[in-house]
Structure 1
Amino acid sequence: MYLNCKTYFSYRYGTFSTEELVKEGVEAGATALALTNINNTADMWDFYEHCTSAGIKPLLGAEIRNGDELLYILIAKNNAGTLTINRFLTRHLQEAQPFPQRAVISPDAFVIYPLGSIDPIELKDHELIGVQPAEVTRLFSMHTASYPTKFVIRQPVTFKNKKGYNLHRILRAVDKNIILSKQTDEHRASPNETIFPPSYLLHAFKQYPQIVTNTLRIIDACSYQVDFREDKNKKVFTSSANDDRILLEKLALDGMRNRFGDHNKEAEERVRKELQIIDKLSFNAYFLITWDVIRYAQSRGFFYVGRGSGANSIVAYCLQITDVNPIDLDLYFERFLNPYRASPPDFDIDFSWQDRDEVIDYIFKRYGRDHVALLGMFSTFQYNAILRELAKVFGLPKDEVDAISANPDAILNEDQIQRYILFYGSMLQNFPNHLSIHPGGMLISEEPIYQYTALEMPPKGFATTQIDMFGAEKVGLYKLDILSQRGLGHIKEAIKLVRQNKNITIDIHDVERLKKDEKVAEQIRKADTIGCFYIESPAMRQLLKKLRCDDYITLVAASSIIRPGVAQSGMMRQYIYRFHHPNDFEYLHPKMKELLEETYGVMVYQEDVIKVAHHFAGLDMGEADVLRRAMSGKYRGRKEFERIRDKFFLNCKEFGYSDDLTKEVWRQIESFGGYSFSKAHSASFAVESYQSLFLKTYYPMEFMVAVINNFGGFYSTELYFHELKRTGAHVHAPCVNNSDELTDIHGNEVYIGFIHIKSLEKESVLHILEERSRHGKYAQLQDFIQRTDIGPEQLNILIRVGALRFTGKNKKELLWEANFLQKRVRKHASGSSSLFPAKPFQFKLPELHHTALEDALDEIELLGFPLCHVFDLVDADTSLYINAKQVPEHLGGQVDILCYYITEKPVRTIKGQLMYFGTFIDSNGDWVDTVHFPDKAIKQRLTGKGFYHIRGKVVEEFGVYSVEVEWIEKKGFKGI
Structure 2
Amino acid sequence: MGFTHLHVHTEYSLLDGASRIEKLLDRCQELGMNRIAITDHGVMYGVVQFYKAAKKRGMEPILGCEVYVTRGDDRAKKSGRERDYAHLVLLAENERGYKNLMKLVTEGFVHGFYYKPRVSIAFLRKHAEGLIATSACLAGEVQQALLRNQYDQAKDLALEYADIFGEGNFYLELQDHGMDEQRMVNQYLRQLAMETNLPLVATNDVHYVNREDAAVQDVLLCIQTAKTVDEEDRMRFPSDEFYLKSEDEMAELFPREALDNTEKIADRCHVELEFGNLHLPQFTAPEGLTNHAYLRQLCVAGLKERYETITPEIQERLEYELDVIEGMGYEDYFLIVWDFIRYARENSIMVGPGRGSAAGSIVSYSLEIIDIDPLKYDLLFERFLNPERVSMPDIDIDFCYERRGEVIDYVIRKYGADHVSQIVTFGTMAARAAIRDVGRALNIPYGEVDRVAKMIPMELQITIDKALKDREDLRVLYREDATVKRLIDVSRALEGTPRHTSTHAAGVVIAKNPVDDYVPLCRNGDIIATQYTMTELEELGLLKMDFLGLRNLTIIQKAVAMIKKNTGRVIDLNQVPYDDEKVYRIFQDAETLGVFQFESSGMRNFLRELKPTRFENLIAANALFRPGPMQQIPRYIANKNSSAPIRYTHPSLAPILEETYGCMVYQEQVMRIVRDLGGYSFGRSDLVRRAMAKKKMKVMEEERKNFVSGALERDVDEKSANKIYDEMIDFAKYAFNKSHSAAYSYLAYQTAWLKVYYPVEFMTALLTSVMGSSDNIYQYIREAKRLGISVLPPDINESGSRFNTENGKIRFGMAAIKNVGSGAIEGIATERAKNGRFTNLYDFLNRADLGAVNKRTVESLIKAGALDGLHMRRSQMLAIFEVMVDEINNQRRRTLSGQFSLFGEESPVEMAIPIPDLPEFTEQEKFEMEKEMTGIYLSGHPLDSVAKAMEQNTSHSSQAFREQDEEYQVGMPRKLRDGQRVKIGGMVAGMKALTTKNGKRMAFMQLEDLEGLVEVIVFPEAYEKYHQLLNPEEMVYVTGRVNLSDEEAAKVIAQEIRELKPIRTLYLRLPIRNQDLESKVKKLFTEYPGESAVVWHFVKDRKSFKTPQGKGVKITGRLEERLWDLLGKDNVVIR
Question: Which range, TM-score by smaller chain?
Answer: 0.7 to 0.9
Is the CA contact (8 Å cut-off) linking 1:514 and 1:690 kept in structure 2?
A: no
Aligned twin of 1:466 = 531
Alignment correspondent of 2:314: 267
Given that 2:208 and 2:214 are in contact with CA atoms closer than 8 Å, whether structure 1 keeps it comes out as yes
Q: Is the 8 A contact 2:955 2:983 kept in 1?
A: no
Corresponding letter in the other structure for 2:509: L
Residues 695 and 703, structure 1, Cα contact 8 Å, conserved in 2: yes
Say whether the 8 Å CA contact 2:838–2:870 is kept in structure 1: no
Aligned residues of 2:42 and 2:68 also touching (Cα < 8 A): yes
After superposition, the Cα gap between the structure-2 partners of 1:280 and 1:72, relative to the gap in structure 1 and judged at 3 Å, is: same
Question: Counterpart in 1 of 2:1024?
Answer: none
The within-5 A match list for 1:904-923 is 904=961, 905-906=963-964
Evaluate the alpha carbon distance shift between residue 803 and residue 283 of structure 1 in structure 2; reply closer, same or farther with a 3 A threshold. Answer: same
Check the 8 A contact 1:45/1:471 in 2, yes or no. yes
State how far apart, in whole Å, the 1-side matches of 2:290 and 2:933 are. Answer: 61
Equivalent residues of 1:946, 1:971 under 8 A apart: no
Give distance in 1, aligned partners of 2:233 and 2:96: 39
Q: Which residue of 1 aligns with 2:486?
A: 420
**Aligned residue among 516, 523, 526 for 1:457:** 523
The 5-angstrom pairing of residues 261-660 of structure 1 reads 261-305=308-352, 306-396=354-444, 417-459=483-525, 461-510=526-575, 513-517=576-580, 519-567=582-630, 570-581=631-642, 583-593=644-654, 595-612=656-673, 625=686, 628=689, 641-647=696-702
Contact 1:311 1:680 in 2 (8 A): yes
* 3-state DSSP of counterpart to 1:487: helix
Classify 1:189/1:229 alpha carbon distance in 2 versus 1 (closer, same or farther; 3 Å). farther
Say whether residues 1:71 and 2:87 are aligned partners: yes
Distance in 2 (CA, whole Å) between partners of 1:95 and 1:831 is 50
Aligned to 1:756: 816
Classify the secondary structure of the residue corresponding to 1:110. strand
Partner residue in 1 for 2:863? 800
Question: Is 1:121 the counterpart of 2:159 in the alignment?
Answer: yes
Aligned to 1:780: 840
2:217 corresponds to which residue? 168
Distance in 1 separating the partners of 2:865 and 2:113: 51
Shift of 1:553: 2.2
Map 1:11-160 → 2, pairs under 5 A: 11-65=14-68, 70-98=86-114, 99-100=118-119, 102=121, 103-104=124-125, 105-114=127-136, 116-117=142-143, 118-119=154-155, 120-122=158-160, 123-124=162-163, 125-126=165-166, 127-134=169-176, 137-138=186-187, 142-160=191-209
Deviation at 1:679, TM superposition (A): 1.2
Aligned amino acid, residue 293 of structure 1:
F
The Cα of 1:794 is off from its aligned counterpart by 4.3
Which residue does 1:692 correspond to in 2?
751
CA RMSD, Structure 1 to Structure 2 (Å): 4.1
Aligned-partner Cα distance in 2 for 1:267–1:469: 34
**Distance of 2:397 and 2:189 partners within structure 1:** 64
Instruction: Answer yes or no: is the 8 Å Cα contact 1:575–1:602 preserved in 2.
Output: yes
Q: What amino acid is aligned across from residue 648 of structure 2 in structure 1?
A: Y
SS at match of 1:59: strand
Distance 1:285 1:947 in 2: 55
Hey, what's the Cα distance between the residues in 2 that align with 1:70 and 1:419?
40
2:775 aligned with 1:719: no
Flag structure 1 segments of 5+ consecutive residues without an equivalent.
882-894, 918-931, 952-966
Equivalent pair of 1:351/1:488 in contact (CA under 8 Å) = yes
Distance of 1:381 and 1:669 partners within structure 2: 31
Matched, 1:701 2:760: yes
Task: Encode CA deviations 1:377-407: one digit per residue, 9 max, x unaligned.
Answer: 2111123333333333234566766666667
* Cα deviation digits, residues 631-650 of structure 1 (max 9, x gap): 77xx7xx8xx3433443566
- Where 1:180 maps in the other structure, the secondary structure is coil
* 1:256-285: CA deviation from partner (whole Å, max 9, x where unpaired): 122123542211111001111111111211
Is 1:738 aligned with 2:798?
Answer: yes
Q: Secondary structure at the match of 1:330?
A: coil
Measure, in 2, the Cα distance between the counterparts of 1:867 and 1:714.
11
Once the two structures are superposed, residues 601-650 of structure 1 have per-residue CA deviations (whole angstroms, 9 ceiling, x without a partner) of 21212223434456667888667545655777xx7xx8xx3433443566
Q: CA deviation at 1:821?
A: 4.1
Q: Give yes or no for contact 1:873–1:973 (8 Å, CA) kept in 2.
A: no
1:784: how far off?
Answer: 3.8
Change (3 A) 1:178 1:916: closer
CA distance in structure 2 between the aligned counterparts of 1:144 and 1:204, rounded to whole angstroms: 17
| Distance (whole Å) between structure 2 residues aligned to residue 581 and residue 783 of structure 1 | 69
Paired residue secondary structure (2:377)? coil
Give the secondary structure class of the aligned counterpart of 2:659: helix
Change (3 A) 1:626 1:237: farther
Deviation at 1:690, TM superposition (A): 2.6
Q: Secondary structure at the residue paired with 2:662?
A: coil
2:316 maps to amino acid: E
The secondary structure found in structure 1 opposite 2:135 is strand
Asked if the contact 2:511–2:543 (Cα under 8 Å) also holds between the matched residues in 1, the reply is: no
Aligned to 1:336, what secondary structure does the other structure show?
coil
C-alpha distance in structure 2 between counterparts of 1:186 and 1:301, whole Å = 55
Report the CA distance shift for 1:46/1:400 in structure 2 as closer, same or farther (over 3 A). Answer: closer
Q: Could you tell me how far 1:490 is from its partner in structure 2?
A: 0.2
TM-score (norm. length: structure 2): 0.73
**SS of equivalent to 1:6:** coil
1:938 aligned to 2:984?
no
Following superposition, the deviation at residue 151 of structure 1 comes to: 2.9
Q: Does the 8 Å CA contact 2:984/2:1038 hold for their aligned counterparts?
A: no
Amino acid at match of 1:507: D
Q: Deviations over 1:831-854 (max 9, x none)?
A: 999972433346464561444444
- Which residue is equivalent to 2:1124? none
Which residue pairs with 2:930 in the alignment? 859
What SS is found at the alignment partner of 1:4? Answer: coil
What does residue 811 of structure 1 align with? 874
Task: Report if the CA contact (8 A) 2:276-2:540 is conserved.
Answer: yes
Structure 1 residues 320, 346: CA separation in 2 closer, same or farther (over 3 Å shift)? same
Bigger Cα Rg: 2
Residues 920-931 of structure 1: pairs in structure 2 closer than 5 A = none
Once the two structures are superposed, what CA deviation does each residue of 1:16-75 show, in whole Å capped at 9, x if it has no partner? 222222222111111311111122212222222222222221111211137886511121
Deviations 1:136-181 (A, max 9, x none): 7525751424444543333332211233221212112221222334
Pair 86,521 (structure 1): closer, same or farther in 2 beyond 3 Å = same
Q: CA deviation at 1:817?
A: 3.1
- Structure 1 residue 183, shift from structure 2 partner: 6.4
Identity %: 25
Tell me how far apart the structure 2 counterparts of residues 296 and 268 of structure 1 sit (CA, whole Å).
27
For the 8 Å contact 1:533–1:692, the answer to whether it is kept is yes
Question: Following TM superposition, by how much is the alpha carbon of 1:336 offset from its aligned partner in structure 2, in angstroms?
Answer: 2.3
Q: Is the 8 A contact 2:132 2:170 kept in 1?
A: yes
SS at match of 2:273: coil
Partners of 1:760 and 1:405 lie apart in 2 by: 42
Residues 942 and 139 of structure 1, relative CA distance in 2, 3 Å threshold: farther
2:509 touches 2:545 (CA, 8 Å); kept in 1?
yes
* Deviation, structure 1 residue 705: 0.7
Cα distance in 2 for partners of 1:470, 1:973 equals: 59
